[in-house]
Structure 1
Amino acid sequence: MAPIPETNPAVYAQYQTKWSELPSTEDAWVARAQEVAKVLAQDAAQRDQENRSPRAEVALLKYSGLLKLLGPKKYGGGEQPWSVGYKAIREVAKADGSIGMLLGYHLLWSTTANVVGTPEQADRTHQLIITNNYFVGGAVNPRDSDLKITADGDHIVFSGNKFFNTGGVVSDLTVLEGVLDGTQDHIFALVKTDQPGIQFAHNWHNIGLRLTESGGVKIDNVRAPWTDALGWDASTKQPREDTLKIAFATLLLPTIQLVFSNFYLGIALGSLEFASKYTTTATRAWPFGGDNKESATDEFYILERYGNFFAHLRAAEALADRAGDQISGLYARYSSDKAVLTPRERGEVAEWVASVKIVTTDVGLRVTSGVFEVTGSRATASKVGLDRFWRDIRVHTLHDPVAYKNREVGRYALLNEVPEPSWYT
């Protein structure tokens, strides 16, 4: 398919100089994310309807410095913990779920080498990404067949197809993952996106998260040096025999699952904020209830619903922050090769993350659909754009069935079992 039209980065050119310095504290980073959200909120509904490739929106993330939030200061990064990254994702998603999702995936993929790579590879990858202010996408979808990797001298060669990739079309680098031919060993590597061997299908035409460029991609003989095979020894062409590091590498999945939950939460919070403004300015009181009110904001059922939604979102936010602190704690304690991360410690944190996933899925779907009950029938007009919140959260909450998270947490609560690491746990 032909590429869809792109948004123009020139519309955000003023922010390239406005945000010339990075924030230095957690509060300042969250405030920067809120500034980005305020810009995106101005025309979020219109951009959703136009469904253009988000070239400009990624440029805005670059100008804001948010892409550098987790990176080391020595290369110009913010060197913040994941707990701050999660809050930034949430703030951006309040205004635009697609761009919140892109930020979340970038933060995960740009730090992949921290988890599955060697210290030298992580350092080199950070220098590449931060000094160039690169945006990173990923073609890693475990539901598809693995990419095939063949060895060719000092290089590995990736080939295959992925039904989903995220942000690839507008990325500078793409994370690839596959299985080395003749083995069961997986390899991650980052490669330049702009090359003939990466061929995007341009087929992302779904009901929600329309600006994430999450369609298919063909990987045709894409080469990477063995030195970029994350966690592998380039001289022996073997995975590092380091069981402690392998245990640490399993943190990749809880980390990204909590990324998901935070943009779910951001979308739900954004829908309530958006609906609140609509209710206070446009919703009319119901004149046939026998207890007539002059204003919709005096209606008992409207106040009751907003109170209930707000309370549940407040609880979900507290739970998400607690899990973010748990993830950050593990990274702080076990990021060196000498540290020992036990399966039990990893599993305990995975259950915090699973709990957040369950709660944010449930409350997110309930709030984003329920806000129509307190805004009224006129709020369903396309020009209002309230529907995009539900469409966005509905699409991604199907990523992996939440029923399995409920079962997983059930086994933990009932039998004190922690889950085995998997592509989704």
Structure 2
Amino acid sequence: MATNGASNGLTFKPNGEGASIPQTDPAVYADFEKKWAGKLPSTEAQWVQRAAEVAEVLAADAAVRDRENKSPRAEVALLKYSGLLKVMGPKKYGGGGHSWSVGYKVIREVAKGDGSLGMLLGYHLLWSTTANVVGTPEQAERVANLITSNNYFVGGAVNPRDSDLTITSEGDEIVFNGVKNFNTGGVISDLTVLEGVYAGTEDHIFALVPTAQPGIQFAYNWNNIGLRLTESGSVKISNVRAPWSDALGWNPQWQKPDPAVLGIPYASLLLPTIQLVFSNFYLGITLGALTFAARYTAKHTRPWPYTPDPNPAATDEFYILAAYGNFYAHARAAEALADSAAADIAALYARYPSADLKARSQLSARERGVLAEAVAAVKVVTTDTGLRVTAGVFETTGARATAAKVGLDRFFRDVRTHTLHDPVAYKNHELGRFVLLDEVPEPTWYT
């Protein structure tokens, strides 16, 4: 039965009752399930190549799927078949065992073919490793086993800006209730990360729960201009329960945050980690736009005839060549900056391993802040470059490239949509204080 939402007037349905919602059929990718079965990549180069193969498959009909806006059940199945969901999972549970430096490259590669799927993969990798940052070592081990061994896809109903999910305690369980205006990938997920405020406090709790339960109800209302296949619509949470032992970083006996886990700078690493996820799928979308546009120009764009010195082909036009050269230079610079920050994050996690609480406690606020500013620089550059390139390629492709059937517009719409997630102006401001005053930012839910 459908249930009505609170003041927003939305209609919510449990996941099982959303079967009537248009969705893609995993059977279309059955051949890839057979092709990749039991053939997990090993080296970094192999993982990036596998991601490139997935991107090529997704790019073939990305414009059509974007217009149809069907729930991407098949595309998430493709990610599962490819093994990409497990690139950072522990090897002992069947994962790739790689660090974020590889995870970010895989996200970027998939986003070249389809920004929505690059975003879904990025959020999945973040939620899959959340327990490593804000959980106890025991919780992190349990979560890694659960997700990697089962090849689960993880969505998230997390939006700390709004106090829209409350948590109460009933014996050995915590109970979630409320509405999240945005959740990412929940409709097509196996597990959902819930986040809310524990009643009577200002403390937040993260916990992973199975998605397929009556208390998780979706509005199926994601119909935005970009990233249309991310299922980022609203979700209603009604009496969803989890054991206190699954409250990440909390002491289940005392029902309070564990200061050795959540009371140290290490716990706030989750924020720069996901901000670099954002930048990498922005960058992937940008590089995908550049490749797509260059192929279109070479094949379809006509030279401008009304000039004293007409060229025989668009690829001979000075202004087109200069524009592509400039786009390429800025994209390469952004890529190098992103790889540098990714190496910094991977090195930091290696220096302070999540399984060692004593090591975690050694991370200083200053070291965490310097990393956050390195990530902020990437966010600024990939936002500026992404918007400039994905809009600018229309000047190098011509008026006919604006046709819906071409699909060039999806790159700009995707970048434009997510770069509004949090104001990039504040990243510029933080960087200004860092450069001029040698100040690192106080950790927030967006820094």
Q: Given the two structures, how large is their TM-score scaled by the length of structure 1?
A: 0.98
1:241 Cα deviation after fit: 2.3
1:362 Cα deviation after fit: 0.3
CA contact (8 A) 1:204 1:214 kept: yes
Q: Which amino acid aligns with 1:417?
A: E
Q: Which amino acid aligns with 2:432?
A: G
CA contact (8 A) 1:244 1:337 kept: no
Would you say 1:338 and 2:358 are equivalent positions? yes
- Structure 2 matches for 1:264-343, cutoff 5 A? 264-335=282-353, 336-339=356-359, 340-343=362-365
Would you say 1:193 and 2:211 are equivalent positions? yes
Poorly superposed stretches of 4+, deviation over 4 Å: none
Alpha-carbon distance in structure 1 between the residues aligned to 2:230 and 2:42: 29
Would you say 1:28 and 2:46 are equivalent positions? yes
Alpha-carbon distance in structure 1 between the residues aligned to 2:329 and 2:299: 23
CA contact (8 A) 1:271 1:368 kept: yes
1:41 Cα deviation after fit: 0.9
Equivalent position SS for 1:279: helix
Which residue number in structure 1 is paired with residue 6 of structure 2?
Answer: none
Q: Which amino acid aligns with 1:416?
A: D
Would you say 1:372 and 2:400 are equivalent positions? no
- Structure 2 matches for 1:3-402, cutoff 5 A? 3=18, 4-20=21-37, 21-242=39-260, 246-335=264-353, 336-339=356-359, 340-402=362-424
Q: Which amino acid aligns with 1:136?
A: V
CA contact (8 A) 1:116 1:246 kept: no
Alpha-carbon distance in structure 1 between the residues aligned to 2:426 and 2:200: 32
Give RMSD over aligned pairs.
1.1
CA contact (8 A) 1:77 1:130 kept: yes
Alpha-carbon distance in structure 1 between the residues aligned to 2:423 and 2:236: 26
Equivalent position SS for 1:422: coil
CA contact (8 A) 2:134 2:262 kept: no
Alpha-carbon distance in structure 2 between the residues aligned to 1:349 and 1:310: 27
Q: Which moved more, 1:73-82 or 1:179-188?
A: 179-188
Alpha-carbon distance in structure 2 between the residues aligned to 1:60 and 1:338: 40
Q: Which moved more, 1:343-352 or 1:12-21?
A: 12-21
Report sequence identity in percent.
72
1:87 Cα deviation after fit: 0.3
CA contact (8 A) 1:244 1:341 kept: no
Alpha-carbon distance in structure 2 between the residues aligned to 1:362 and 1:107: 25
1:225 Cα deviation after fit: 0.5
1:245 Cα deviation after fit: 6.3
1:246 Cα deviation after fit: 2.9
CA contact (8 A) 1:245 1:337 kept: no
CA contact (8 A) 2:136 2:261 kept: no
CA contact (8 A) 2:163 2:197 kept: no
Q: How many residues align?
A: 425
Equivalent position SS for 1:328: helix
Equivalent position SS for 1:156: strand
1:262 Cα deviation after fit: 0.3
Q: Given the two structures, how large is their TM-score scaled by the length of structure 2?
A: 0.94
Alpha-carbon distance in structure 1 between the residues aligned to 2:273 and 2:392: 29
Which residue number in structure 2 is paired with residue 411 of structure 1?
Answer: 433
CA contact (8 A) 2:191 2:211 kept: yes
1:22 Cα deviation after fit: 1.1
Q: Which amino acid aligns with 2:416?
A: R
Alpha-carbon distance in structure 1 between the residues aligned to 2:191 and 2:268: 23
CA contact (8 A) 2:261 2:357 kept: no
**Pair 1:244–1:342, CA change in 2 (3 A):** farther
Q: Which amino acid aligns with 2:54?
A: V
Show CA shifts across 1:29-64 (max 9, x none).
Answer: 101100100110111111111110000000000000
Alpha-carbon distance in structure 1 between the residues aligned to 2:352 and 2:182: 32
CA contact (8 A) 2:134 2:267 kept: yes
